[in-house]
């Protein structure tokens, strides 16, 4: 046993002799934990039809609540800057640029009359341009609008998304291309802006465009039998692997995949959970998030009340946790670890590799109903 202990210490980079320090000195000798400075930010709602962008720390203590004119959805983070972009849930009319530390409004974005915001935004790596998915509803066409953050957030361009109903978008690892989840659903504000008008003819796809020119570089779609699988949310690993979550517009009992993996240049590869978990996903995936290592990704299923975790290397299902109305997911700086929130006001931390879950200790989270997406900032 002593031999095994010495070998373990060597593997951990510790010499054969060591001294136990008092707790206070041991903590002082340990490098600061970045998670102690982490701030999580999300759209949220109160109990009376009131909407916010709210931020909380690693313990779950709420740091600010900034009122919104309508229900928010996702938050775009401007690199190396205080700006964050809050975009209204589809069909949205407003976008707000907020200070990530205080929630104060720094700028307002207004959607053109013949467009509607579709809930998601992402900045270029240099922080100059903000990209937002939109609906050109009169032509059943998806677009990506471009806003110049260095010129008062002036709308400077618009690109085709190469599909209908674009939703989440992300930068590819090269920083020069955008991947877009075109959900395939045509909606129109004259019909409440959310009711699908083309389920029988949906054509969802994943498209990659040049962020400077709008040129289509790659595109992939599911087979025709699965055309009712609306591709809504995605995330991108550092190696370029794209994980996507689907929302099925058919019967609850139909057997269809709800998760896909895409390596640009190839087909989308559908993957499934074990039958009992697959059924509990209720044909609806919410947030998609890779962990810090890119080896694990999580997909929330708020209608099914669970969050699933997957091995990004083998595409195997790893595990799941119960999370009633749980949707928001953010990766911490630890491999396999995520922070999550729910519409019921809960927050938790999950290590998907070690199958260990702990609840965030501060009860102030329960004052809000947390929306679909969660972002992590180092303060």
Specify whether 313 is located in the same domain as 203. no
Distance CA 373, CA 26 (A): 37
Q: What pLDDT shows up at residue 33?
A: 75
Mean pLDDT calculated for residue range 288-315: 97
Judge whether residue 3 has pLDDT over 50.
no
- Say if residue 278 is in the same domain as residue 320: yes
Domain contains 362:
yes
Domain final residue, candidates 196, 221, 246 = 221
136 in the same domain as 31: no
Whether 104 maps to a domain, the answer reads: yes
Residue 189 has a pLDDT of: 93
Same domain, 132 and 217: yes
Q: Tell me whether residue 248 is in a domain.
A: no
41-51 per-position pLDDT tens digit: 999 999 999 99
78 and 57 in a common domain: no
Question: Do 74 and 6 belong together in one domain?
Answer: no
Q: Give a yes or no: residue 282 inside a domain.
A: yes
Which band of pLDDT confidence, cut at 50, 70 and 90, is reported for residue 31? low
Do 131 and 4 lie in one domain? The reply is no
Q: What is the model's pLDDT at position 16?
A: 38
Residues 73, 217: one domain? yes
Q: What is the distance between the alpha carbons of residues 75 and 374, in angstroms, rounded to a whole number?
A: 8
Q: Name 1's Cβ contacts closer than 8 Å, sequence gap at least 6.
A: none
Closest C-alpha among 292, 347, 345 to residue 321: 347
**pLDDT single digits (tens) 326-354:** 999 999 999 999 999 999 999 999 999 99
Q: How confident is the model at residue 32 (pLDDT cuts 50, 70, 90)?
A: low
Is residue 233 situated within a structural domain? no
Sheet of 317-322, strand order: 288-290, 296-301, 306-311, 317-322
Q: Is-contact 283 253, C-beta < 8 A? A: no
Taking residue 338's Cβ as centre, other Cβ atoms within 10 Å add up to 30
Residue 193's pLDDT band (cuts 50, 70, 90): confident
150 shares its domain with 83: yes
Shared domain check, 350 and 293: yes
Domain-located, residue 29: yes
Q: Of 157, 74, 63, which Cα lies nearest the Cα of 117? A: 74
Q: Flag whether pLDDT at 28 surpasses 70.
A: no
Between residues 255 and 1, the one the model is more confident about: 255
Domain that holds residue 334: 1-61+271-379
Structural domain contains residue 236: no
Q: What is the pTM of this model?
A: 0.91
Give 29: exposed, middle or buried? Use CB within 10 Å, 0-12, 13-18, 19+.
exposed
In the chain, the number of structural domains is 2
Strands 356-359, 347-351: pairing is: antiparallel
Same domain, 201 and 293: no
> Can you give the CATH number for the domain in which 217 is found?
2.130.10.10
For residue 286, the Cα-to-chain-centroid distance in whole angstroms is 8
Helices (H), the chain: 2-11, 23-29, 275-280
| C-alpha to C-alpha distance for 40 and 275, rounded to whole angstroms | 33
- 266-277 per-position pLDDT tens digit: 999 999 999 999
In a domain, 235, yes or no: no
Residues 35, 140, single domain; the answer is: no
């Amino acid at each position: 046993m002593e031999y095994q202990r010495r070998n373990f210490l060597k593997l951990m980079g510790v010499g054969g002799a060591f001294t136990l320090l008092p707790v206070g000195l041991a903590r002082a000798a340990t490098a600061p934990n970045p998670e102690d400075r982490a701030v999580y930010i999300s759209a949220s709602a109160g109990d009376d039809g009131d909407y916010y962008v709210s931020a909380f720390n690693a313990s779950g203590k709420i740091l600010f609540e900034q009122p919104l004119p309508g229900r928010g959805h996702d938050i775009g983070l401007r690199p190396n800057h205080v700006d964050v972009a809050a975009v209204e849930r589809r069909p949205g009319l407003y976008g707000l640029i907020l200070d990530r530390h205080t929630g104060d409004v720094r700028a307002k974005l207004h959607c053109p009359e013949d467009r509607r915001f579709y809930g998601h935004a992402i900045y270029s790596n240099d922080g100059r341009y903000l990209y937002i998915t939109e609906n050109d509803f009169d032509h059943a066409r998806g677009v990506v609008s471009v806003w110049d953050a260095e010129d008062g957030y002036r709308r400077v361009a618009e690109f085709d998304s190469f599909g209908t109903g674009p939703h989440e978008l992300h930068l590819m690892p090269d920083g020069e291309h955008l991947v877009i989840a075109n959900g395939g659903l045509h909606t129109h504000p004259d019909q409440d802006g959310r009711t699908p008008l083309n389920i029988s003819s949906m054509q969802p796809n994943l498209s990659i465009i040049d962020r400077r020119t709008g040129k289509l570089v790659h595109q992939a779609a599911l087979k025709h039998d699965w055309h009712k699988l609306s591709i809504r949310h995605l995330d991108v690993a550092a190696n370029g692997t794209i994980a996507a979550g689907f929302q099925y517009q058919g019967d609850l009992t139909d057997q269809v995949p709800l998760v896909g993996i895409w390596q640009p240049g190839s087909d989308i590869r559908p993957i499934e959970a074990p039958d009992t978990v697959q059924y509990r996903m209720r044909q609806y995936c919410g947030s998609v998030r890779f962990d810090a290592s890119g080896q694990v990704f999580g997909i929330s299923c708020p209608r099914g009340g669970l969050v699933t975790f997957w091995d990004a290397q083998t595409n195997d299902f790893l595990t799941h946790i119960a999370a009633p109305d749980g949707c928001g997911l953010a990766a911490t700086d630890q491999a396999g670890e995520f922070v999550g929130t729910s519409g019921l006001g809960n927050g938790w931390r999950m290590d998907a590799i070690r199958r260990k879950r702990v609840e965030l200790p501060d009860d102030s989270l329960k004052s809000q109903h947390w929306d679909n997406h969660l972002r992590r900032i180092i303060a």
